Amino acid sequence: MAPHTEASFTTDSKHENFPVGSWLLSSKLRPHVACFYDFARCADDIADNPELSSEEKIKHLEGFEEALLGKGSGNSDFQKALNMHDSLKESGVSPQHCRDLLCAFKQDAIKSHYNDWAELVAYCALSAAPVGRYMIDLHGEPDMSYEESDSLCSALQLINHLQDCGDDYRTLDRVYLPMNWVRDAGLDLFDLNFNKTTPALRRVLDWTLTGINGQLSDAENLHTSLSSVRLSLETSIIYQIARKLYQKLRENDPLSKRIVLSKLDLASCSVKGVATGLLCRC
């Protein structure tokens, strides 16, 4: 087999819900945020590559981690990890958040089902929470904001999994739904192949959405605890986007079509997010 460079793994970001490094963030920090996104996206693409075995995925992710930590020979196959190493060195942010993401991607390479809600949330603590923690640290915020940030990031991750539940099952044989709820609802996972949600699947989706709603409630005041006005407004907008997607998933079928926000929805969430963010500072 020919060696896989990171160029082989890179995909487009058409299914990303949330803009990275928007104009609201400081122009000084945006390059670091973009670098972090590129690192995470490329590593995620390795874990999601259907042409690689689990062993090959883990080997490449371990190479990514070595490059992130400045070890090894500076292999250009892992250029985005090398770039992240330089970014972390310049910004002073700990590499732990990136390492946690890599742990989640290694887990994706070998694990495809989650026993219950607690196990799924624990996965999100590695696959989603590090994103918010990185942003908090990059902006010099105290880590007292971690808990609310973890809740928001986990909610965003789970929303994304519900949007892609059919595709994840068909292409990767992954199911990000608590398996005890799947059994309680009498759901046959083969139903994820259909283009319409069955009553049993709808029950599991709704139970999962109830859990997501609790996480969003826990994160509702995150933006008020941030000293950076720019990060606070960005967070407020993202919260409104998550709330809108949550509502759409309550009301629509993610197997019939992928649930996304329209340009009008995004504009409305942006206006509401900025207004809410500014009012809390009056």
pLDDT < 70 stretches in the chain: 1-21, 72-74, 281-282
The predicted-structure confidence for 158-196, as pLDDT tens digits, reads as follows: 999 999 999 999 999 999 999 999 999 999 999 999 999
Find out whether 204 and 189 touch, Cβ atoms under 8 Å.
no
Which pLDDT value is given to residue 73? 67
The CB density around residue 212, as the number of other CB atoms within 10 Å, is 24
Which pLDDT value is given to residue 56? 96
Within 13 Å of residue 236, how many CA atoms lie on the same side as its CB? 26
Which pLDDT value is given to residue 11? 38
Structure tokens at 173: 């044989």
Give 113's contacts (C-beta < 8 A, 6+ positions apart): 174, 175, 179
Give 176's contacts (C-beta < 8 A, 6+ positions apart): 114, 120, 123, 158, 161, 162, 165, 168
Domain residue ranges in the chain: 27-93, 112-282
Domain 112-282 has CATH 1.20.910.10: no
Q: Which amino acid is at 228?
A: S
Which pLDDT value is given to residue 267? 92
Instruction: Report d(CA 60, CA 77) in Å as an integer.
Output: 9
Which pLDDT value is given to residue 2? 33
Which pLDDT value is given to residue 32? 96
Which pLDDT value is given to residue 3? 37
